A and B are shown apart, each in its own frame.
Chain A
Amino acid sequence: MKSNSLKLILSAGLFLLPAMSLQAGLDTVLKVELNCYFQAKTSLSGNIDAGKVGNVRLNSKQLLTLIGRERGIRFPYGSQLKVTDVGYVYVADSNGNSILDASPYVQVTFFKGKELLNGKINIANGKEDTRTYYQLALRLNLTTLKGTLRGIGIEDLIVTAPDRDGIQIARGNTDSTVNGKGIVNGGTGYFDGRINLKGRSAVIR
């Protein structure tokens, strides 16, 4: 009985395998590099109203730490933030295994549908060498940091033609200069910086 079930699963897998195409998308590593500006100090002395703006840096590793603090956990060394092709953010260990759904805290939205396309796509075999321009947004929802940043994503995507075994290599890189507004440590914060999404995968066509 067990061997019959195994055969059934294997057969189903063989039927499903050809369906794993480029449509499966490319998971990318999320890199964030931001400057956060906030009101560090204000004072009123006589007729002098003075203020001081603080500027701190924020990167993906800090985001990872902040997400860990929200959940009361410490991620394994080498853990990364990854994004699926539909903007779902998750924490992956150094081997790429998903270990936490980070989408309640960090979300990426790709405003695709009105993108500008530069380059060529071979519809027959899926070979692609394109640069796409579209709007993207990064939403942060953490206790000490909230905000939405927007920018133009410039995505370079190269997909090789299938080799003899039908394997295609996809390489994607998206850069975006972003800025936005939010809350830093309970006060108004402004952000600017960049987002990078980079990924590489082998797909079977």
Chain B
Amino acid sequence: MGIARARIPLLAAGTAVLLLAGILVYQRSGPAGNTSSAAEQTSTSKPPVRPDKRASIPHERASIPGLQNLSELPAPVEPPHPPGSPDHREWIDKRITELDALAWFDDSGSLGKILTELRNPLPEIRTAALEATREFGSRDAIPYLEAISKSSADPLEQKALGELIEFLNLPTLLEISDHDAIE
């Protein structure tokens, strides 16, 4: 009993330290530490305006910073194995899988890696990069796609790039839903 009584001040001090630490962590994390849903974040981040024109529909995601100077994108990844070898085929499959996975991210680094491969000398990689760009779904890719299309001598590639640009220029279902929700 005496030991229990002696522990009470110790426990109180410990609780106070924990509370203080919790307050400090909360203050440091601030809004960035908020783990609320995407829907909640969207609703709180938008200004209370009622846009009238279709052109004013907010984009699905904000413009990706760091993708301003397209000429600064690195060179495509070179295949390390001689063409025709089983390792070469394996490397192509692996690279295509990597590009497919990158398409599910939302950051400029991932988009940059995908766009870089549109200049790859291997047609399989270029096709996979085109698919990944489509799946990534960012309009930030459009200037780069236009530049590639202008420099391409292949009419089929130009057609594919043109169709992709047209597709990316369409509003997304999320943009329309969010726009309607605001109205």
Contact = CB atoms under 8 A, between A and B. Distances in A.
27 contacts: A35-B170, A36-B173, A56-B171, A56-B172, A56-B173, A57-B167, A57-B168, A59-B137, A59-B172, A60-B104, A61-B104, A61-B106, A61-B135, A62-B172, A62-B173, A68-B37, A69-B39, A72-B37, A74-B41, A77-B106, A77-B107, A94-B104, A171-B93, A184-B173, A185-B177, A185-B180, A198-B100
Contacts of A69: 37-39
Contact of A66 (B107, B171, B174): B174
Interface residues of A, number: 34
Interface residues of B, number: 31
List 3 A-B pairs, minimum CB-CB distance, nearest first.
A72-B37, A69-B39, A57-B170
Nearest to A55: B170
B37 to A, nearest CB: 4
A106 B170 CA distance: 23
Q: Give the secondary structure class of B's interface.
A: helix
Interface string A128-151: 000000000000000011000000
B46 to A, nearest CB: 15
Contacts of A68: 37-39
B175 A56 contact: yes
Contacts of A54: 171, 176
Contact of A65 (B38, B134, B136, B176): B38
A200 B40 CA distance: 36
A127 interface: no
Contacts of B152: none
B167 A78 contact: no
A58 interface: yes
A35 B137 CA distance: 13
B157 interface: no
A181 to B, nearest CB: 16
A29 interface: yes
